[in-house]
Amino acid sequence: MIYLDNAATTWPKPECVYTETDRVMRYCGGSAGRGSHKLSAAASECLYSMRETAGMLFGCEPENVIFTHNATHALNLAIKSFATDGSHVLISDLEHNSVLRPVTALGKMNVTFDVYGSHFGSAEAVIRDIKSKIRQNTSLVVACHTSNVCGITLPIEKIGALCRKKGIAFVVDASQSSGHRAVDLTSSGADAICTAGHKGLYGPQGTGLLILRGDRQLSPLLEGGTGINSLEREMPELLPERLEAGTQSASLAAGLDAGMKWLMKTGLSVISCRERELAAGLTDELLSMKKVRVFAPSCTGSTVSFNIDGMPPSGVGEKLDRVGICVRCGFHCSPLAHRTLGTGENGSVRVSFGAFNEMREVRFLRDVVYTLTRE
């Protein structure tokens, strides 16, 4: 099996992720932040350790690391707090449905939104576009750091600086960039960074992070038990408990912690260099094939999107699956990005690399794609 769907979920995980998840489920099985018996304390330590590691990775204090179910959960928390009733929101033309659908749903609160262009990552063009679309009531700008379809990366530092100057909240969707490039709360100027734990951070599925500036207060999406102030009807004001109602999974947190530690030990740049090499190698091979179109080929990071003329992406995906190659075909939950790339009708075939892929897998994929172009 050749797994090339790492933009959806990285797989396999580093061995330490399996080991830690299993160990904590077996031996630290209490509820984190509930009571003070030994198993509860052990679970609490797992949660806190994960926050500490994420704090090192994203440049914040551990209490500003909110443990979420996934990036969608984190984005909903941030967007639905920063987009106040009757305000205006700007989102990029690369956004995933995890951004597009929440801002659309906020229409019932009279929130309106506009889409700014990604301009293949050109900072000057992106900033010009955002400036032209900012209104008096713009409360929030959202930027997908790196597209999940094609690897275009937005200039978040420059967008962040503009937002701070204008007093507008700025949320970064770092689902595809965290673990691949440095994403820092301070340098990005973001009020919130939202990311998945199961992608570039190599954690288990069911994990995500909301990294929040210390002076920002969000409204909970869920209310419930937090292990503190239990006689009060309102959710506590302190982070992270305010945004973490209900029992948190210590084993998943431990797995995510192990993934992030592995990432830092291995070296983020080492992994991303290897992935870029694989993606660039595949891009070159695909560009040399007559019937293949590669989208945004100069922007590929660890993701390559392509189509074969005359074949629907789903058909290509089925044929690749039959020979043991796992890729993702269709719209990748990003209709905006596909409209931007001109693939709004059928989507594309997406190949996304992870830390454990090798060049021989690229060569095998190349040979299979070439065979398909000859059919």
Min separation Cβ 218 and another protein, Å: 16
DSSP codes of every residue in 179-244? TTB---HHHHT-SEEEEESSSTT---TT-EEEEE-TT-----SS----SSSTT-SSPPSSTTGGG-
Letter string b/e over residues 157-176, b meaning 16 or more CB atoms within 10 A of that residue's CB: ebbbbbbeeeebbbbbbbbb
Decide whether 8 or 46 has the Cβ nearer to another protein: 46
Min separation Cβ 239 and another protein, Å: 8
**Beta pairing, strands 112-116 & 88-92:** parallel
Instruction: Please check whether residue 68 is in contact with residue 208, taking contact to mean a CB–CB distance below 8 angstroms.
Output: yes
Decide whether 32 or 316 has the Cβ nearer to another protein: 32
Does 215 engage in binding with another protein (CB under 8 A)? Answer: no
Task: Please report, as residue ranges, which positions from 112 to 171 form the binding site for another protein (by CB under 8 A).
Answer: none
Does 230 engage in binding with another protein (CB under 8 A)? Answer: yes
Binding test (CB under 8 A) with another protein, winner from 238, 273, 287, 323: 238
Min separation Cβ 54 and another protein, Å: 13
Min separation Cβ 214 and another protein, Å: 9
Min separation Cβ 217 and another protein, Å: 15
The CB-side HSE value for 164 (13 A sphere, CA atoms) comes to: 15
CA distance 50 to 60: 13
Here's the x/- map for another protein, 258-277, by CB under 8 A: it reads as --------------------
Binding test (CB under 8 A) with another protein, winner from 2, 24, 32, 149: 32
Does 33 engage in binding with another protein (CB under 8 A)? Answer: yes
**Where does residue 364 fall: left (phi above 0), alpha (psi -120 to 50 degrees), or beta otherwise?**
alpha
Task: Please report, as residue ranges, which positions from 283 to 322 form the binding site for another protein (by CB under 8 A).
Answer: none
What is the chain's length?
375
Does 232 engage in binding with another protein (CB under 8 A)? Answer: yes
How many residues interact with another protein (rule CB under 8 A)? 25
Binding test (CB under 8 A) with another protein, winner from 229, 288, 298, 371: 229
Angle at 174 between CA 332 and CA 156, to 5 degrees: 115
Binding test (CB under 8 A) with another protein, winner from 26, 108, 136, 231: 231
Does 257 engage in binding with another protein (CB under 8 A)? Answer: no
Min separation Cβ 238 and another protein, Å: 5
Q: Is residue 146 classed exposed, middle or buried when 0-12, 13-18 and 19+ CB atoms within 10 A define those classes?
A: buried
Here's the x/- map for another protein, 38-77, by CB under 8 A: it reads as ---x--xx-xx--xx---------xx--------------
Print the SS3 string covering 235-282: CCCCCCHHHCCCCCCHHHHHHHHHHHHHHHHHCHHHHHHHHHHHHHHH
Min separation Cβ 21 and another protein, Å: 20
CA distance 80 to 84: 8
CA distance 13 to 248: 21
Does 241 engage in binding with another protein (CB under 8 A)? Answer: yes
Closest CA to 56 of 65, 46, 45: 65
Decide whether 60 or 154 has the Cβ nearer to another protein: 60
Min separation Cβ 87 and another protein, Å: 31
Instruction: Please check whether residue 133 is in contact with residue 127, taking contact to mean a CB–CB distance below 8 angstroms.
Output: no
- Interface residues with another protein (CB under 8 A) are 32-36, 41, 44-45, 47-48, 51-52, 62-63, 227-232, 236, 238-241
